Structure 1
Amino acid sequence: MSKQDPRPAPDLEESIERLSDLIDQMDEAHFDVSRIDACLDALERQEPLDIRFDTEASLNAFQEVHRDLFPSLRVLPGGKERRPKGRRVFRRAAIVAAAAVVSSVAVAQALGVDLFGAVAQWSKGQFQVTYGDTDSLETGYVPNVQPEGCYSDGQAALDAYGIEEQMLPTWHPVPGDEVPGMEVSVVQEADGTLLFTEDHRTESGSGYTYEVRQHSSADAALQALIGVDDPDVLTYELDGRTYYILSTAPEAHTVTWAVDIYSGRIYGDIDLETARHMARSVTQRDEIPYTPPEVDQPPEHQTMAEALEALGMDTSYAPQWLPEGFLPVESSIRQDDTFGDMAYLFLTDPVGERHLSLSIQSYPDPSVVGSTVYEKDDTPVVEYVRGGATFYIMNNLDSKTVVWMDGTVEGSFSGGLTQEECIQIIDSIPRYAGET
């Protein structure tokens, strides 16, 4: 503190609050790491970190004080979930976590640790590529790629608990012009029943909800059915199941059914036809219709090699073969000193009624590398090794996605392809020619 400033130096608590306020004022587009580092340096001077610092004990203490930041800890006696006090806590936690990751990476770099390793992990519904310190990560199938107790959707929650029975709709209506958000929870009821809930509700409460219960027996699942004996209930037979549909209000219905030890329920602001469609989508997926794109003029870059060349990137990452009939529709490139360079190309095959997208991204610095999540279905991931790289081929309904990592480069392509076509595209990439 200078002689010209008579104010007392801030104490540790005040400094922490200043750092917290500073972080709250930032967003993804205006995140100044240098200011965060300056605050952390000031905190270090006020209270240096003991070399014997117990990180595990500190983490446990932090989680205990800030339980609302951790979904896996938000469970009260009786199985009821504790709700966060507000949305601000999630935003604040995410930015604090980002600052912590950046600081940790800087330390690791200073120690000469190579953080450019990449790990692929997948569940039934997602495939995730993670860059960073991969020592503690496992490759291959994991029950759920989300943080413990936090699920991307209801199916991810069922996957995490090993429930393989198809119980959730795969088709979602859009009520009016407002798409409801989604909130997923898993609680244990008083009788031991596990309740999985996927809410699609607007802030006003309108929308719809899916519920799946895992009971102790098939008889208990049948007892959970609602409105079965109501004289106005409609039965909908499909794939060996009976769905009971009951009108609860104008333009509001409840659908309920039971399979083995599981019972399902859909309810909310849905008309009869929507209720039938949602029930049908539990076991029968809708085909995705082909929509030809409008092309006013050809894109600036006709091939991935042209897009990479415009970025100054190595063109040997670009496939030299694509299935016949694909025409370029859209291309884009991005150059960013912080987030890296990316080339994107979108093509369509009007005759075959299918699309294809390709993306190549190069990361300049491990401190800004996180993870990429790709949607997939529950069919197995195929690993194809070529030129020393592992290509992961996965299904997403009628589409296939291929992902690979090569040092700081992440590549992917997806579309209405066969596995044979995917392999041919991979084999045509010059960088991986020869060695298999």
Structure 2
Amino acid sequence: MKCTLYTQKKQATLVISKLILFYQCKIICAKGNTGAQYYLIFHRDRYINAIKTDHLKPESFLFRAIEQGMTIHRAHPIVYDLLKQSPFAWTSARQVKKKTHRLQPDMEQVTILSYFDQYIAPKTIIELYQNCFRSFKREGQLQKAYQSLVHLNRYQPNLTFYQDMIAAVEFQNYHTEQSTDSVTDPIVFALTMKENDSARLTSQLSSSWNTDEWHQLWLLLQNYPSRVIFTTLEHMLRQNESLIQEPPFTEVLLSQATAKQFFNTLKKQSPFSHLINFDLFKQQLDALTVQRKISLLKNKPNYFINLIQNFSMHEKEQLIKPIVNVALQTESIPLVKQWLQDLPFNISLKEQLATMERFEQDELHQKELANLYIEFNNPLHAIECLKWSLAIDTDDLSCYKQLIELLRSTNQEQEADVYQNQLIHLARFRSLFR
């Protein structure tokens, strides 16, 4: 499969290897006669320009598209449709850069330019999105202002500017409405609204469950990235909430979710009529941020209890212990102990924390307290306990050795060397009296 690329002075015949779909962009990957790599960029279905490079910049739009987008290899109806525009004109990078200086606030034009951050500075793209936002907000076009923030965050996630602006009161309603709108992803839109087989199946399953139709849809969805699968199924779930009670549907939905999506889905849709897979639940729990883990016990105990109520006692303990591990790094033992006391089932962690609370103010049990902290993967608190123990008993060789090992494991080499020298002197002193 071939296409032609031309400039004012010459033309080249390219051999097409694959097509990549990423948000509103389509990218034809092709090679020239010399082996040079070309990327033909389309916005929706309209050809824009080409990029020639053998070395993609990390985190550039092209790099992310190849990493995260959907890949279609060679012959496919979509590719043939795009090739109807051949031969393709190739404009120099210098001319594309000039557009950034003349550009008026236009979100679509900025989005198109973002495809070319292989040679346009990302800072320039960010500033153009910010200019769009300010212009729309100044004119009172809050919907467009919000969309410019969405595009900015998609291009460069979690910028301070985005975080500050999206938190503004006037955008709260837009945020709630748009954050779950699958139509913002054109691939999902095509799956649910345009492509015949998938559109028919998603529509029918959104009305009523049918196992055969589900198997057909799942065969189609398996060719797409996780984000597309999850968003497509979430779109269907909004049409028919009873789908969450179907184990095959729920299993796929939750397995394709990020940790945040996983727990948000459970919060909105539980309880289920079937068990949640334990390994998947633990994997998603482990992927949560420290603060989100702690909040499950600190702020949402009833929600968490409902989530884990069908797991065995051993499984419950496996899920709660990692939360206790991180909680003990910043919270007091009595407070964490109280969180566990509020749980309506008995686990050994409650006894361990009760023991730790007794030992905490007892200078004669600091070594034992250190060992309990180690069990909760908390070496820094264990180090402080061992130092306290050595202040009481300066001749405890095993305490020295344990402290030195912990200091080295936490990259506190200089302090470890100090205690190592003390241990050497103590050992020599003892040998004199044997």
Q: Does the alignment reach a TM-score above 0.5?
A: no
Q: For the superposition of Structure 1 and Structure 2, which TM-score range results when normalised by the shorter chain? A: under 0.3
Larger relative strand fraction: 1
**TM-score, normalising length: structure 2:** 0.25
**TM-score, normalising length: structure 1:** 0.25
Specify the structure having the higher radius of gyration (Cα).
Answer: 2
